[in-house]
A and B are shown apart, each in its own frame.
Chain A
Amino acid sequence: MERVKVTIDGNEAAASVAHRTNEICAIYPITPSSNMGEWADDWSAAGRKNIWGTVPLVVELQSEGGASGAVHGALQTGALTTTFTASQGLLLMIPNMYKIAGELTSTVFHVTARTVATHALSIFGDHSDVMACRQTGWAMLASGSVQEAHDFACIAQTATLEARVPFIHFFDGFRTSHQVEKIEQLSDDDLRAMIDDELVRQHRARGLSPERPVLRGSAQNPDVFFQARETVNPFYTKIPGIVQKTMDKFGKLTGRQYHLFDYIGSPDAERVVVLMTSGGETAEATVRHLIEKGEKVGVLRVRLYRPFSVEHFLAALPKTAKTIAILDRTKEPGGGGEPLYLDVTSALFENGRQDIKVVGGRYGLSSKEFTPAMVKAVLDELKKPEPKNHFTVGIHDDVTHTSLDFDPSFSVEHPETVRCMFFGLGSDGTVGANKNSIKIIGEETENNAQGYFVYDSKKAGTMTTSHLRFGPKPIQAPYLISPNTANFVACHQFTFLERFDISRYTQPGGVFLLNSIFSTEEVWDNLPQEVQKDILEKKLEFYVINAYDVAEKTGMGARINTIMQTCFFAISGILPRDEAIAQIKKAIKKTYGKRGEAVVQKNYAAVDQTLANLHKVSVPGKVTSKISRRAPVPAEAPEFVKTVLGPMIASDGDSVPVSAMPIDGTFPTGTTKWEKRNIALEIPVWEPDLCIQCGKCSIVCPHAAIRHNVYETKFLEKAPATFKSMESKFKEFPGLAYTVQVAPEDCTGCTLCVEACPVKDKTNPSRKALNMAPQPPLREAEAVNWQFYLSLPEVDRTQLNIASIKNSQLLEPLFEFSGACSGCGETPYIKLLTQLFGDRAVIANATGCSSIYGGNLPTTPYTFNRDGRGPAWSNSLFEDNAEFGLGFRLTLDKQQEYAHDILPSFAAELGGDLVDSLRNADQTSELGIRQQRERVAALKEKLAQSKNPQAKNLLAVADALVKKSVWIVGGDGWAYDIGYGGLDHVMSLGRNLNILVLDTEVYSNTGGQASKSTPRGAVARFAASGKGLSKKDLGLMAIAYGYVYVARVALGFSDQHTLKAFLEAESYDGPSIIIAYSHCAMHGIDMAKGLEQQKLAVQSGLWPLYRYDPRLADEGKNPLLLDYKEPTVPVEQYMYNETRFRMLTQSNEARAESLLKLAREDAQSRWNFYSQLAAMHYSEEAG
């Protein structure tokens, strides 16, 4: 039977089988597995049935712990149940996994193997998560390609039912989960042919039912537990046979025959590598290449890793093997070797094969590239009489010298395979277009096709790199296209050329396509010299198109994707031009058809107008340019920034050696300032003649790229010529000069400052005190102005009344230029936190958007002031952030207590006054804190001279005598869902902690999955039909304690209220929680209107604004202060500005209408409730 060929990624491939062969999916989002759950949810929402004719039930839980519990329960009651997860998520499932295996329960968990966070979090792929499960009693099946992810999902599901042992089906996170490949799709009939319904019925029959009551999950004692544990042995013994039998059946059905261990290589190989998952593809291709060169080598690909069948392993290993290398994609520090290595050595030892020399090595941690060159390096190492053991490959380890050298130019790719790279912006649609291109090539030609997509670490101005391969031969190349090997390189943004070495990827004689604002005649002289040199030396065919112009004329805006895609097809000639254009249009219709005719038409127009604007450049014979590529960081940057972060910025982080990296994950702060990204097309320009010096522009800026200051006029003497200033209007600072300054190279051009500016020119109301203007002409002068601005002295914070917005904005932000989205609604709150308390803040940050823009390398935004003080920041996990922050508090409290305890013993030495004042300092004001700092400085000085044996101990904790501000920061996914249990407990302890919930009402970082904060009527991932129930009232739950300070704020509604809440929360000597409305790109809004949406959210009553201050109750007052009025704006006026709500009117109008009605009632009933609560009398007289 002819099967359908589809071009999909590994997640879709695995989920496609999982969804069709299960009844329940209990899920929780975690990268890179989230898409599997999303596919399942999409298919169920669309009514797609499984092979038994019923639509699987998809339920999102509050955590992976919760998901695994629900899976366990569903399995125990007899449903075919699955889940999808990775990394920390898988680890949270381990307790249930022991139970599920111990109870001999059939299920498959599909895992995108991902790094477990150690010294740092990483979303990328390795086996550290799955290897942490190898002791749970689960079978483990490893797939190495998209086709295998599809096939093994079926094999695992089939085998688990017979084996009664649960299976982890895993494949490499990103490399397989996100790689797009052409595969043959299994039909429903295939799945039916594989799965034995009788076994399904037996699974059901084992389910708990009061009709046949049993007890499962007893507590056992020393007398019998051990024996009971050994009862399962026969089941494990049978698994290899069952899996091989299943593979054989699958082979007969599909023609794709797999084995528990697949050996590829010469039958008389002497050197063999053993490994699993996608690295096996690379090794297989390399081995084939080397055999052609006459080498006797082979690769043994491990498919069934647990149970590890020694018998099958030995049978698969060539008898001639003399030296073998076992490659593990994980690290177990302190172990005798990594897991697969230990399994193999044990297998050989137990069977008397000590004649084989075995070495182990690590590769590919966190998706580190694993290339044929590295495979060859390993095989070459095996030629040596004493090959290195416990080696690493793929890095340069200059500390413990574990690494093998490799020749990066070694390639095994088939000459007929075409390699193409596309460098685009996250906002120009390049990735989407390339996914379409690869589908066209995969499904409309006989070619094999592969696509893989790489993103940089900043959400604003992201650079995307698409790697496409296609050709008549199978593509076994799960690694990036390397320099000098791409047949076709397209640079979709001209400005990339000054920041990145893009042309280096093109192979000699290849094609280099550039989206250029310069004409064919002008473009050459505007290229950096390095690019000109590359074009000349490699004799590249150089094409240009002004895609912006075509996009503008055809209504495509910034989306140049279709235009560049058309150029690619036209130049590459993969299809005849007419056919290519027809196929592109077909893909457009398919991709955009549901979005309406206008979108289809504009894309068609873009395609039609492209070719006339595509030109081949006649390249002059010499380098003419005066322009050079910019260094990634300026020369004056600190050494660490230059030598470690610099290469990372320049996309050359792979070259950083082990010795250069911090040993424990500790990094200097204040590094974003060195990475000048210049991503704004327009920046704000200040008009002093209109400015009222209100500071609103500064407080709303998500990137701290616009600031204001007052300073003595004498400083203006050295000001650059274009530096603007005016007389200060601050009553506290008469006669001083005042400036609003923009950081032109750090601004993202979001326009929130202009939106927030309250002043209009009376004669020309379109002119405000800030107006956007193109960045390039301003860049140079404003960059100089910015540097000068930074040299101005800071206002003495002890002299400021920071309770006013304008004054608060004179405080230096200690969070700047983060990688957050342009116009981010979260970061202004964090920035404010750092302005007010940053010099004494220690921040615990839950995993999520805020930990990514807060701590993702290369450069990070938390910074320090001129005294060297600033926030100390750390991210533990997603689920434990409140507890993590509590730990900070406990330490500080304990250290302060210890210092207080031992200080009196120093009274004679230090003077009683100093000891008393250190112990009893009033630190409720900035002045008090400064004075205490001075005392601590004096203390340290004296202690340094002291002979007292306790002096060093006191010195070690002396800083704890200065008041510290502990902040626990995270999003709603953490606070409402996965971390709520901990958050609740931490609040209950009454300690002095400040919790900031950046509430975007959705899991923003992982792409918009619903949380319990998601409001009624919003469409989100896992709430495809619109969330039917109302948002959890986290604030009210905190209020219930009575001793927690609670505030709900919305900067866009009232900056003054927000400021007040922050000051009150921090001053409260107990737990405080601020729940901050954070508009978000996931809402589907024009981010420039984010502040307006915040206002409407409050005015419509959907975001009640209040403060609950327990101190007021002590004064006999009602602690609840309502800071908003009865809803005055219809909820739809707020909701229908946002795609998340509006979308439901387009997908299910009736439901949208009924949820709108309920949302209206929510707003009103919440007002009724809160207004009554706020009206209660608290005074004794009222009693």
Chain B
Amino acid sequence: MGDLTTTYLGMNLKNPLVASASPLSEKVETVQKLEQAGIAAVVMYSLFEEQAIHESLELDHFLFAGTEISPEIGTIYSQTGKYTLQPEAYVETLGKLKQAVGIPVIGSLNGVSSGGWIKYAQKIEAAGADALELNLYYLPTDPDLSAAQIEENYLKLVGDVRKSIQIPLAVKLSPFFSALPNMAKRLVEAGADGLVLFNRFYQPDLDLEALEVVPNLTLSTSAEIRLPLRWIALLYGRIRADLALTSGVHTAEDVLKAMMAGASATMVASVLLEKGIDHIPTILTGIDLWMSQNEYESIQQMKGSLSQQSVAEPAAFERANYMKVLNSFRSLP
């Protein structure tokens, strides 16, 4: 058996397979099953800034609505009742997870503003999280809002969160930056200990019958690994932070590629939702088998071996490769 251990955000992981933020971490029993199946760490489902705010406002609205319309109505719901709102429930679940499993548990915050809600970073830390993953996702629709302004907001947020906690901080980001390496560098300078590449976005669909925009959820495929793989290969060695690959990790080969590109960990969710938790041993066995067949002793040995800095043809990751791919279509029948 090869040495599958890796370090991510200062944590020693028994293998590079980390469960990414998904509904799989909503229940303690499921996370226990993930641990038993061999997962090395788990990122909890995300606590969304908008959800936390929306939930609070909605609760307020409906606790009030209708209470002042008639002398016969007092308060419609209990005055003494306690409500466990999403942030509190999140922190509570995290605490329970930490009690129930031995693997590292990483909290996940998804938001874009430096408002009062980032105090939940502290609460997540206090609940025992081993690290925090901050998921940055902002969809700009205002033509007057520049990329620079958005980036500044991101950096401020990362800086604010960094200042508020002691545990390692990973930043999960999207690929949509004009100068990703520069952004990555500045995020690290702002306090990120690791970068998670990349966020998957659920793109809405259009319903032709109803003439409406409808939400659409599709799971990832192995093909999606290419984009993060390239950027990890490019960033590896260029920034002082751990890199984790997410999006499209479905097979042992995907994990191996990520490691060779320079990732410290790989995140899985879609494949587990699709094939079940029992698929984890299949991947781990596959990694082990490949390593033994190819005479690798450890993951560490292969880490970054196919990063841009290490490969024989660094240009393959760059524009030239783009030309090559386009040309390859010409040979198709």
Contact = CB atoms under 8 A, between A and B. Distances in A.
B56 A598 contact: yes
A1143 B71 contact: no
B89 interface: yes
Interface stretch (A302-310, A429-437, A930-938, A1174-1182): A429-437
A523 B57 CA distance: 32
A596 B56 contact: yes
A123 B115 CA distance: 47
B317 interface: no
Interface stretch (B62-70, B99-107, B193-201, B278-286): B62-70
A123 B71 contact: yes
Contact of A42 (B78, B87, B212): B78
Contacts of A1015: none
A32 interface: yes
Given A597-B117, A599-B57, A31 B68 contact: no
Interface string A451-474: 001110001101010000000000
A153 B16 CA distance: 69
Interface string B297-311: 000000000000000
A460 B68 CA distance: 10
Contacts of A821: 66, 69
A178 B75 CA distance: 13
Nearest to A31: B72
B81 interface: yes
Given A427-B68, A597-B116, A35 B74 contact: yes
B68 A430 contact: yes
A760 B55 CA distance: 31
A38 B79 CA distance: 9
B65 A601 contact: no
Contact of B89 (A602, A760, A765, A1149): A1149
Given A35-B74, A595-B60, A599-B56, A426 B83 contact: no
A432 B60 contact: no
Contacts of A1008: 73, 76-77
B70 A459 contact: yes
A424 B64 CA distance: 15
B59 A596 contact: yes
Contacts of B62: 1084, 1139
* Among A424, A430, A852, A1143, residue most surrounded by chain B Cβ atoms (within 10 Å): A1143
Nearest to B63: A595
A1147 B85 CA distance: 8
B53 interface: yes
A1007 B74 contact: yes
A178 B59 CA distance: 25
A1006 B72 contact: yes
A253 B58 CA distance: 47
Contacts of A1021: 76-78
Nearest to A47: B80
A455 B84 contact: no
Contacts of B239: none
A205 interface: no
A46 B80 CA distance: 6
A31 B72 CA distance: 6
A34 B57 CA distance: 28
Contacts of B55: 596
A430 B69 CA distance: 11
B211 A760 contact: yes
Contact of A1143 (B53, B68, B77): B77
Contacts, number: 153
Nearest to B66: A1081
A790 B60 CA distance: 42
Which of A460, A598, A1006, A1146 has the largest count of B CB atoms less than 10 A from its CB? A598
B323 to A, nearest CB: 42
B271 interface: no
Interface string A34-49: 1100110111011010
B101 to A, nearest CB: 20
Given A462-B70, A821-B69, A1005-B70, A43 B76 contact: no
Contacts of B57: 555, 596, 598-599, 602
A1024 interface: yes
B71 A598 contact: no
Nearest to B117: A597
B82 interface: yes
B4 interface: no
A229 interface: no
B70 A594 contact: no
B68 A599 contact: no
Given A596-B59, A1139-B62, A1147-B83, A1007 B68 contact: no
B67 A432 contact: yes
A596 B84 contact: no
B85 A34 contact: no
B28 interface: no
B52 interface: yes
Given A45-B80, A595-B56, A123 B65 contact: no
A13 to B, nearest CB: 14
A518 interface: no
Nearest to A602: B57
Contacts of A1006: 72-73
Interface in A401-459: 424, 426-427, 429-432, 453-455, 459
Contacts of B78: 38, 41-42, 45-46, 1019, 1021, 1024
A426 B82 contact: no
A494 interface: no
A559 interface: yes
Contacts of B79: 39, 42
A1081 B66 CA distance: 6
B68 A429 contact: yes
Interface in B132-149: none
B68 A426 contact: yes
A548 B288 CA distance: 65
Contact of B60 (A424, A426, A596): A596
B212 A43 contact: no
A429 B64 contact: yes
A1062 interface: no
Contacts of A1143: 59, 77, 81, 83
B72 A1147 contact: no
A1082 interface: yes
B65 A432 contact: no
Nearest to A1138: B62
Interface string B122-138: 00000000000000000
A1081 B59 contact: no
Interface string A725-741: 00000000000000000
Contacts of B74: 34-35, 38, 1007
A31 B73 CA distance: 8
Interface string A761-772: 010010000000
A873 interface: no
Contact of A31 (B56, B71, B85, B211): B71
A313 interface: no
A431 B58 CA distance: 20
A598 B52 contact: yes
Contacts of A1024: 77-78, 81
Nearest to B71: A455
Given A430-B68, A559-B64, A1147 B82 contact: yes
Interface in A52-78: none
Given A430-B68, A464-B68, A1007-B74, A599 B60 contact: yes
A592 interface: yes
Q: Which 8 A-B pairs have the closest CB atoms?
A: A596-B56, A1007-B73, A765-B211, A1139-B62, A598-B56, A1084-B62, A426-B69, A46-B80
21 contacts: A35-B74, A42-B81, A430-B68, A432-B68, A455-B70, A462-B70, A594-B81, A595-B60, A596-B52, A596-B56, A598-B52, A602-B57, A1005-B72, A1007-B73, A1019-B78, A1021-B77, A1024-B77, A1084-B62, A1084-B65, A1143-B81, A1146-B59
Given A594-B82, A595-B63, 5 more contacts: A427-B69, A1005-B72, A1008-B76, A1024-B81, A1143-B83
